C-alpha cells in the first residue's frame, strides 16, 4: 500500500514537471474594463517543486509584484495575489494560450493569456524633472499632533538662503504619494519643479498611511486630511527659509476642497490655487461624474438613468445614516441589482459606501467653506474633465467665494484638458496613462505666473 502511494505521488510530481517547462515564462493578457484596457503580465517560474511568479502592470508602472501562489492542476491554473484582492483562474488550452478570468474586488473580467507576447513599453514622460535639480531639495518629516502621526515629504527652494513664499501641494482622492503619481505621471513633482525655478518654495508630502507617512489612510476622512495640511502649515512656520506671511495652498481635485477647509479656518493662509476642485456637494458631484463617464463610455441612456436612480438612493441611505449602515446598503444593492451581482460584489459596494471617507464626502458641501474664504483664489478646470464637471463646479466655487465678499478671484476654464490637466481626446480616465504629457504648458504657465504675482 505504501509502495503504491509512493508510485502515484511520483507520477503526479513527474506530470507537473513535464508541464512546468511549458508554463514557465511570461504570459501576457489585456484586461478590458468599462474605462479602457490594461495590459497584465504574469512571469511564471518553477523551482523544481512548485510554481512561483511575479506580476507586472506596465501602464501603472507596477513591476515584479510577488504572486502569493501559483497552482496548476492540469489543465487548470490559479494565480493568486490576496493582498491586492486579485485572482486569475484559467484553462491551459495549449503551450501558448490560457483562457480564463481575472477577478478583483468582487468583479470578474474575461482575459486570455498569450505566451511570450510582447507588451508595448509604457510611454515616456518627457516633462518629468530629473536630478540634479537647480535648487535645494530636502527630505523632511513633520508631525500632526492632533492625529499623532508623522508625515514625510520633500521641501524645495531656490539655492539662495533667504525667506521664500511657499506653497503646500495637496493631493486628490485616494492614497497618493508626495508626487501625486498617477499612471506614471508625477504631476506634483513637475509643479514643484516649475514653481521652485520661479522662486517659490514648495512642500509636498505623502498622504497619511502612504509612502513614508504613518497613519491609517482607509480610516481617514476629508476633514482628517485637512488636519494634515494644517500640520504642514505649522511645520513651515518653524523654518527660517519660509516667509510666514506668504504661505499658500494648491489642491488638486479633493485637495482643492481640503485647501478650502484649511483656508476657511486659518485666516493666515495667503492664497489658494484650486485645480479641478469640486464646488458641488459630494452626492451631486459623484452622480454628475458617473453619468458623464458612462455616457462618454458608450453606455445607453436608459442604463445611465437606471444607475443614477440606484446610486442616488444609495447616497441617500448614507446621508440619512440608516443603521446598521452596511447591512442596509447590502440589502438595497441586492434588491436594486436583482441578483445580477454576487455576494462579494454586493459586499464590496456596501463596504465602499459605508467607509468613513464616503460617509463624509457624500454629505460635504465645499461651498460651506469657500463662502468664508477671503484670500486670493485661482480656480482652474479643464473643458474635457469628466470627473469634476467644469462649468457647474467653477460656478459653485465662484458664487461661494462672492458670498464671503472675496473680490480677488480668478476663475478660468482651460480648453482641451482632462481632470489631470493633460491635453487629450475624450477626457476619459482610460486615456490618462496613454498620454505622454503630464501637465499642459498652459496650466503650468497660469499657475506659476499667478502665484508669482500674488506673492510679490
Give the 3-state secondary structure of the chain.
Answer: CHHHHHHHHHHHHHHHHHHHHHHCEEEEEEEEECCEEEEEEEEEEECCCCEEEEEEEHHHCEEEEECCEEEEECCEEEEEEHHHCEEEEEEECCCCEEEEEEEECCEEEEEEEEECCCCCCCCCCCCCCCCCCCCEEEEEEEEECCCCEEEEEEEEECCCCCCEEEEEEECCCCCCCCCCEECCEEHHHHHHHHHHHCCCEEEEECCCCCCCCCCCCCCCCHHHHHHHHHHHHHHHHCCCCEEEEEEEEEEECHHHHHHHHHHHHCCCCCCEEEECCCCCCHHHHHHHHHHHHHHHCCCCHHHHHHHHHHHHHHHHHHHCCCCCHHHHHHHHHHHHCCCCCCHHHHHHHHHHHCCHHHHHHHHCCCHHHHCCCCCCEEEEEECCCCCCCHHHHHHHHHHHHHHCCCCCEEEEEECCECCCCCECCCCCHHHHHHCCCCCCHHHHHHHHHHHHHHCC
Total domains in the chain come to: 3
Which domain, by its residues, includes 61?
25-115
Do 143 and 244 share a domain, yes or no?
yes
Q: Could you tell me if 352 and 369 lie in one domain?
A: no
**Would you say residue 339 lies in a domain?**
yes
Q: Is residue 4 part of a domain?
A: no
Q: Please, what are the averages of pLDDT over each run of 10 residues along the chain (456 residues)?
A: 37 39 85 78 83 86 86 90 89 90 86 78 83 97 98 98 98 93 92 99 97 94 98 99 99 98 98 98 95 88 94 95 93 88 85 92 96 99 96 98 98 98 92 91 99 97
Q: Which of 361, 393, 408 is the last residue of a domain?
A: 361
Shared domain for 155 and 266, answered yes or no, is yes
Supply the pTM of this predicted model.
Answer: 0.79
Q: Are residues 356 and 396 in the same domain?
A: no
**What local confidence, expressed as pLDDT, does residue 57 receive?**
87
Residues 308 and 375 in one domain: no
Angle between helices 356-363 and 222-237 (to 10 degrees): 90
Q: For residues 437 and 414, state if they share a domain.
A: yes
Please write the tens of the pLDDT for every residue from 163-207: 999 999 999 998 899 999 988 899 999 999 999 999 999 999 999
Do 386 and 268 fall into the same domain? Answer: yes
Same domain for 108 and 145? no
Report the CATH number that the domain containing residue 44 is assigned in CATH: 2.40.128
Same domain as 293, residue 266: no
Grid cell listed for 256: 482643492
Whole-number Å distance between alpha carbons of 56 and 69:
15
Q: Is residue 126 part of a domain?
A: no
Instruction: Please check whether residue 148 lies inside any domain of the structure.
Output: yes
Quick one: 270 and 409 in the same domain? yes
State the CATH number of the domain containing residue 142: 3.40.50.1820
pLDDT at 19: 44
Considering the domain architecture, whether residues 252 and 384 belong to the same structural domain is answered as yes
The pLDDT value recorded for residue 6 is 39
With beta carbons less than 8 A apart as the criterion, state whether 169 and 133 touch. Answer: no
Domain end position, chosen among 309, 339, 361:
361
Instruction: Tell me which residue has cell 485637495.
Output: 255
- Could you tell me if 245 and 386 lie in one domain? yes
Residue 20 within a domain: no
Predicted pLDDT of residue 117:
64
Is 382 a domain residue? yes
Amino acid at each position: 500500500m505504501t509502495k503504491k502511494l509512493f508510485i502515484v505521488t511520483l507520477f503526479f510530481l513527474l506530470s507537473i514537471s513535464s508541464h512546468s517547462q511549458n508554463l514557465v515564462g511570461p504570459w501576457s493578457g489585456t484586461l478590458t474594463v468599462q474605462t479602457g484596457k490594461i495590459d497584465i503580465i504574469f512571469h511564471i517560474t518553477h523551482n523544481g517543486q512548485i510554481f512561483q511568479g511575479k506580476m507586472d502592470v506596465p501602464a501603472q508602472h507596477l513591476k515584479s509584484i510577488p504572486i502569493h501562489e501559483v497552482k496548476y492542476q492540469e489543465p487548470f491554473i490559479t494565480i493568486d495575489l490576496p493582498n491586492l484582492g486579485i485572482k486569475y483562474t484559467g484553462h491551459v488550452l495549449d503551450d501558448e494560450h490560457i483562457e480564463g478570468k481575472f477577478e478583483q474586488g468582487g468583479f470578474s473580467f474575461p482575459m486570455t493569456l498569450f505566451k511570450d507576447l510582447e507588451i508595448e513599453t509604457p510611454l515616456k514622460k518627457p516633462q518629468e524633472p530629473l536630478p540634479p535639480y537647480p535648487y535645494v531639495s530636502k527630505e523632511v518629516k513633520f508631525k500632526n499632533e492632533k492625529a499623532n502621526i508623522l508625515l514625510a515629504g520633500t521641501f524645495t527652494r531656490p539655492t539662495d538662503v533667504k525667506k521664500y513664499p511657499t506653497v503646500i501641494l495637496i493631493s486628490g482622492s485616494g492614497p497618493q504619494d508626495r508626487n501625486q503619481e498617477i499612471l506614471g505621471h508625477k504631476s506634483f513633482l513637475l509643479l514643484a519643479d516649475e514653481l521652485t525655478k520661479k522662486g517659490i518654495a514648495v512642500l509636498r508630502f505623502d498622504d497619511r498611511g502612504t509612502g513614508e507617512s504613518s497613519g491609517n489612510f482607509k480610516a481617514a476622512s476629508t476633514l482628517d486630511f485637512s488636519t494634515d495640511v494644517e500640520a504642514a502649515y505649522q511645520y513651515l512656520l518653524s523654518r527660517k527659509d519660509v516667509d510666514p506671511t506668504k504661505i499658500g495652498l494648491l489642491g488638486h481635485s479633493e485637495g482643492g476642497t481640503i485647501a478650502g477647509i484649511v483656508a476657511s479656518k486659518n485666516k493666515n493662509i495667503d492664497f489658494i490655487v484650486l485645480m479641478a476642485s469640486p464646488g458641488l456637494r459630494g452626492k451631486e458631484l459623484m452622480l454628475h461624474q458617473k453619468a458623464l463617464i458612462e455616457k462618454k463610455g458608450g453606455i445607453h441612456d436608459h442604463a445611465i438613468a437606471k444607475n443614477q436612480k440606484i446610486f442616488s438612493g444609495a447616497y441617500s441611505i448614507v446621508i440619512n445614516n440608516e443603521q446598521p449602515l452596511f447591512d442596509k446598503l447590502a440589502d438595497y444593492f441586492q434588491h436594486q441589482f436583482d441578483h445580477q451581482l454576487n455576494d462579494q460584489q454586493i459586499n464590496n459596494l456596501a463596504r465602499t459606501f459605508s467607509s468613513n471617507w464616503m460617509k463624509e464626502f457624500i454629505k460635504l458641501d465645499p461651498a460651506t467653506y469657500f463662502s468664508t474664504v477671503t484670500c486670493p483664489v485661482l480656480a482652474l478646470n479643464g473643458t474635457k474633465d469628466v470627473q469634476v464637471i467644469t462649468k457647474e463646479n467653477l460656478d459653485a466655487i465662484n458664487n461661494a467665494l462672492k458670498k464671503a465678499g472675496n473680490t480677488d478671484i480668478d476663475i478660468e476654464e482651460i480648453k482641451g484638458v482632462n481632470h489631470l490637466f493633460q491635453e487629450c481626446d475624450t477626457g476619459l480616465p482610460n486615456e490618462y496613462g496613454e498620454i505622454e504629457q503630464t501637465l499642459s504648458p498652459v496650466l503650468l504657465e497660469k499657475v506659476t505666473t499667478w502665484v508669482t504675482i500674488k506673492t510679490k
